[in-house]
Structure 1
């Protein structure tokens, strides 16, 4: 599946990822309000973290070969030293991941990544949802009969401060998607 995903990444629009259940094709538009939200959050995180910590966007993927999962979070909070080397990032080196919910496949962020990220050992998962102006931060991985899951969920509304790992950022002014259309709000 890994070879297929890598060959399709440049051939088709959107992004391919490998989940515990198979391949996900996210058709989200990497531009518009999704990209703007990602940029705002990345900048806000980098203003409050130390110089050794990066709020990284883009490649490479995060891969847990033992679980057969390969993901590409919108933002990966990681120590710069852990970015060295070739290939995918080890998910256990991530401090946190941040996802901006896409219009085309919101369940990818709210359901499958909620299952995959604790399974991969990512300690903090923050979800920002421009459809509703809300989000949640998930922490405290614990074992369950269905596999590792986050035990703690802290919901927030845009306009409130949100804590991701050891850092608190503002959610003021984050863009929203326009309701009822595929076009972003202005």
Structure 2
């Protein structure tokens, strides 16, 4: 997908965007269709998950999306496609597996504004679990995403994080609610079943 390097929502000048971040965005634009895997940008640099998601990962994404859309208002979407979410002034670009967002907030030309997301949902990658449990747990509150849910097919469990608050290390989630597959889980305002979600072999 084509992005606008240095494009910053709400910024009055390009000087608010780090030159390093702008360079990384431009590099990823060139790599988009030529290098396999998923790329994201964190405060620590580029994260590259080289392995394509397998069946259990993608089936979890599909079932979570479908279950959420059954209980959410029609004007909301559990979106699983492009584009990414980015805050150029923070120098962070992420691509959640599922984004709960109003359709009206999807009418943008470039990256979604992360502060328009009602929730971000990740299914833990077998090849890089720390990206979901550590990196994104740090980045999503920094981006202002109010709820972050993790489904982990390795363990058949997960957690929902909410209530962003300030800490000396930056914004963090204050509340964590763990769940096991087979239980109902509440993400933001909506409760879905986790029955039948697949596990990694």
Normalization by structure 1: what TM-score?
0.94
Runs of 4+ aligned structure 1 residues displaced above 6 Å come to none
Give the deviation of 1:7 after TM superposition. 1.8
Deviations 1:17-55 (A, max 9, x none): 001111000123234111110000000000000000000
Residue in structure 1 matched with residue 72 of structure 2 by the alignment: 49
Name which one, 1 or 2, has greater alpha-carbon Rg: 2
Aligned with 1:69 (options 92, 101, 111) = 92
Residue in structure 2 matched with residue 104 of structure 1 by the alignment: 127
Q: Output the CA distance in 2 between the equivalents of 1:165 and 1:38.
A: 17
Q: Output the CA distance in 2 between the equivalents of 1:25 and 1:169.
A: 31
Mapped pair 1:122 → 2:129: no
Residue in structure 1 matched with residue 60 of structure 2 by the alignment: 37
> Is 1:45–1:167's contact at 8 Å kept on the other side of the alignment?
yes
Give the deviation of 1:140 after TM superposition. 0.2
CA RMSD of aligned residues (A): 0.7
Mapped pair 1:27 → 2:39: no
Give the deviation of 1:114 after TM superposition. 0.5
> Is 2:53–2:125's contact at 8 Å kept on the other side of the alignment?
no
Residue in structure 1 matched with residue 39 of structure 2 by the alignment: 16
Q: Which consecutive residues of structure 2, in runs of 5 or more, have no partner in the other structure? A: 1-23
Q: Output the CA distance in 1 between the equivalents of 2:51 and 2:72.
A: 29
Normalization by structure 2: what TM-score?
0.87
Aligned with 1:93 (options 116, 141, 146) = 116
Give the deviation of 1:165 after TM superposition. 0.2
Q: Counterpart of 2:58 in 1: which secondary structure?
A: helix
Residue in structure 1 matched with residue 29 of structure 2 by the alignment: 6
Give the deviation of 1:116 after TM superposition. 0.4
Q: Output the CA distance in 2 between the equivalents of 1:120 and 1:112.
A: 12
Mapped pair 1:150 → 2:178: no
